[in-house]
């Protein structure tokens, strides 16, 4: 029986190589964003087909990953496929000496490595047969499943609705240069990132039913760190640091966790 880590690593490697070629052809490394959700969906489906694990936690895990991945990748495809390269990747392209080589390692291989670490809750839930020798029929608590699903749905709502609200806002030419502060964006400056954060903690709670579940905590901890300190919230806060309208928005609105806006006297 093949090790789930090998199956997962193989899926991810093939996936990032395909998207690296797409990025070369389109001269747009930002398209790797589209591949993020799809990669998790592919590795989840391949592991599910291989291990044939039809238990409740496995089916719920697979369903959550597919729902999240299709929504996110479809949204990013519509937003990015025919557009210029995202400002983050365009900035790197202008700064790097060996653009394609460095892009492979710093964009594609790095995201593939993160994807592998983030996959542990999926692998240990769907591929439980490898780690335990059999597929247990009662190795789960209904309460951690319910909590995980509820968290996932809350996170999915914030990410999907937040993305759509921002997309509609930017689509209106009258809003060019303005700051989005309506809808969910009234309560948190980053509702889509907050949603991603909550979803992965929900996925972790479902994974408590899996084998060696303790290692799965790497996934939500890693995404929390990346969103808050590296590529998500921190990067966008720096981008708009010189914008007076955004500075006023910062004073009223929570950075990450939703709450009612402050009254500014």
What is the distance between the alpha carbons of residues 46 and 50, in angstroms, rounded to a whole number? 6
How much is the pLDDT for 78?
92
Structural domain boundaries of the chain? Answer: 4-252
- Asked if residues 11 and 39 have their Cβ atoms less than 8 Å apart, the reply is yes
> Please, is 52 exposed, middle or buried when counting C-beta atoms within 10 Å of its C-beta (0-12, 13-18, 19+)?
exposed
pLDDT tens digits for 28-69? 888 999 999 999 999 999 999 999 988 889 999 999 999 999
Tokens, residue 236 = 């966008």
Q: What is the mean pLDDT of residues 226-253?
A: 88
What residues contact residue 13 under an 8 Å CB cut-off, 6+ apart? 112
Q: Hunting for tokens 């709502």 — which residue is that? A: 157
How much is the pLDDT for 265?
59
> Please, is 133 exposed, middle or buried when counting C-beta atoms within 10 Å of its C-beta (0-12, 13-18, 19+)?
exposed
pLDDT tens digits for 88-146? 777 777 778 888 898 899 899 999 999 999 999 999 999 887 677 666 655 567 889 99
What global pTM score does this model have?
0.91
Residues in the chain: 265
């Amino acid at each position: 029986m093949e090790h789930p880590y090998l199956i997962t690593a193989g899926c991810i490697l093939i996936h990032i190589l395909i998207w690296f070629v797409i990025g070369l052809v389109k001269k747009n490394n930002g398209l790797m964003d589209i591949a993020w959700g799809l990669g998790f969906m592919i590795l989840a489906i391949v592991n599910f087909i291989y291990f044939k694990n039809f238990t409740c936690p496995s089916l719920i895990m697979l369903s959550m990953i597919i729902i999240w991945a299709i929504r996110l990748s479809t949204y990013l495809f519509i937003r990015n496929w025919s557009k210029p390269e995202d400002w983050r990747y365009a900035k790197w392209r202008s700064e790097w000496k060996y653009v394609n080589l460095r892009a492979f390692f710093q964009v594609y291989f790095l995201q593939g490595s993160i994807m592998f670490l983030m996959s542990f809750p999926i692998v240990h839930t769907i591929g439980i047969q490898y780690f335990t020798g059999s597929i247990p029929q009662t190795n789960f608590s209904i309460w951690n499943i319910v909590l995980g699903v509820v968290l996932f749905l809350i996170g999915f709502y914030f990410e999907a609705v937040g993305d759509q609200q921002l997309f509609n806002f930017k689509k209106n030419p009258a809003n060019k240069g303005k700051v989005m502060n309506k809808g969910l964006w009234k309560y948190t400056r980053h509702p889509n990132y907050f949603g991603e954060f909550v979803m992965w903690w929900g996925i972790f709670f479902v994974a408590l039913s899996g084998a060696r579940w303790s290692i799965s905590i790497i996934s939500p901890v890693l995404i929390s760190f990346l969103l808050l300190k590296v590529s998500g919230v921190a990067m966008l806060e720096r981008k708009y640091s010189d914008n007076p309208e955004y500075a006023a928005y910062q004073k009223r609105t929570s950075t990450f966790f939703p709450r009612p806006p402050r009254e500014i006297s």
